[in-house]
Amino acid sequence: MASGLVFGPALAWSIAAIAGLAYAGGRADAWGPLERRGAAVAGSDACRACHPAQHDTWARSYHRTMTQRAEGAAVLAPFAGEHVDHLGFRATMTRTAEGRPHVRVAAIDDEGGASGPPLLDVDVVMTVGSHRYQQYLAQIDRGGGPGEVWRLPVAWHVATARWIPMNAAFLEPEGARGDADAYLRHLSRWNDNCVLCHNTEPRPGMAQGTGDAPRFDTTVGELGIACEACHGPAGAHLQRHADPFRRLLTGGAGDGSIAHPGRLSPRDESGVCGRCHGNRISADVAAVLRDGDGFLPGTDLASVSRPIFRDATVGGEALFSERFWPDGTPRLSAYEYQGLLLSPCHQDGRAGGLGCDDCHAMHGDRPDMQVRPDRLGDRACTSCHVPEDLSLGARHGGHGEKVTCQGCHTPRITYGLLEGMIGHRIAVPRPQAWIGRHDQPDACTQCHVDRSRTWAAEALPRLGFPGPGPLPAPAPDEAWGSRVQLDLAGGDPLQRVLAIHALARPEVPVDVAARRAWITDALDDEYPAVRWFAWRALRKLASPEQAALVAAYDPHAEAEQRVPAADALRGAFGRGPFTPEQREVLEARQERTVLWIGE
């Protein structure tokens, strides 16, 4: 009797558990093929119940905050009456009586007073980004219906805690003062642009409106880049795993009801990232603008789109060459996927090849760049290329601890988000290939900023590498200064910003005072983004006593305020190495390439 009271409930539970497991194990719908495409989006809160640790790491990532409602702590800018002037227009950021962020843009006269009706006078409804800078969205019906949303022409730069005009975040010449079209060039529609990569399961919902204007009924499964952006819609997965016995039987091995990037081939796993980190041309643009891009994580990205490369065409016309260096290497962010595809380590996505997940961890403890702890620094390469495989042992190349593998094999020759960034094309430095040319930076002289490519090529044998063979004759002007100096004074806008970025890096083996003097030549550049780079670099390199002098220079101010401040900085820091005649030749070369490209 007593033993029955003690063991009876346990026995009953055991029988029930065995029966439940047997039932779950025998159900065809619990184990058979499952149609994931078109499954309902469950939302990240539904994932947290079973995956709390993964939910927590995702919640601390910049992916989660990519798009948010403009409420509370999501809004990084003060919106407390600040203003930024640009091209004869003043954007003023305030809050409504209800506390909503508000942006008003109006023309100003020469004295800074309001002139005419506002170009914009709108409440902010959403934010985009939270890492480098934060952009703001407002509902504005410009013919696309009440659901039309537009990115505003100002943004909050996080590191410097200041407002910037969006024109200055892109590589383009400065517009004319008073030109409203130039000022509003980056008033971009969110519904058929930003929504596609910055949200989960986006559907632009574009339909034909009256006349030529399309109308939008845009929806997203979830704002920001949430769980189902990488794993696919989870509705069917949740339904299948609602049975606790079914979950026990899987043992955490997965069952195909959801995509797990870590279990995919390098090709398909990298395609999950390449969907947004590699600009693409869709197979059916009309379908994308109506229903979304059609990509299902865990399937072949190439089935719905093709990545843009230097020679990609649309309608037979090559439109993208300016986004790549002459050898095909991407020179803008949002082309990291292309860099990987061009790398021999990727091995065309076959098993054993390098994929995004080998270096990056979506659920790690490092939100900034999300690099795996065991892949930091040289370990990104030595995890595969063990020291015994390298010609010079653990410090292959003879550079010492200061230079990592990435410094030479993925140099900082990429521009994006007002930063110089490492490229994702893994390659061997060959400075000899670019002697006599002015169209692409190389890894060696981006660090040795006071040297030429001829010097770099001749140094290879001294470092233990094979000799470069007969070298091309340098161009006559390569005797005037170093490669970075020539790029800064005569390169295209992207070369100029990357030259400045190289000069500001702490590991550069050149005296700070010399680098400050070289940078001052860029303070009057026609491109606001180049001036911004110069200002930030001088902020970094200035002594405490010089900080006020740098602060007096505003890269976005009108020329009459900006030029005297630039002259004062040149008076304090000096100028670049070129004679006036040389500078004139190099500045004329700048005009050969006029870029109008974004991130």
**What's the mean pLDDT in 73-91?**
97
Please, are residues 137 and 128 in contact by the beta-carbon 8 Å criterion? yes
**What's the mean pLDDT in 575-583?**
95
**What's the mean pLDDT in 136-146?**
95
**Among residues 398, 396, 422, which one has the least CA distance to residue 410?**
422
pLDDT category at 403 given cuts 50, 70, 90 is confident
pTM greater than the 0.85 cutoff: yes
Indicate the average pLDDT of the chain: 91
CA distances from 124 to 77, 154, 187, 260 (A): 12, 12, 13, 36
Please, are residues 231 and 51 in contact by the beta-carbon 8 Å criterion? no
* E strand or H helix at 572: helix 559-573
Between CA 320 and CA 133 the distance in angstroms is 25
- Cα 64 → chain centroid: 15
- Written as six digits, the tokens of 477 are 């002007």
**Among residues 152, 102, 134, 285, which one has the least CA distance to residue 198?**
134
Please, are residues 313 and 319 in contact by the beta-carbon 8 Å criterion? yes
Question: Coil, strand or helix: which one is 597?
Answer: strand
- Written as six digits, the tokens of 494 are 């992207």
pLDDT of 21 reads: 43
Q: Is the confidence at residue 139, as pLDDT, over 80?
A: yes
**Among residues 340, 334, 335, which one has the least CA distance to residue 355?**
340
Please, are residues 521 and 583 in contact by the beta-carbon 8 Å criterion? yes
pLDDT category at 463 given cuts 50, 70, 90 is confident
Residue-wise pLDDT tens digits, 338-364: 999 999 999 999 999 999 999 999 999
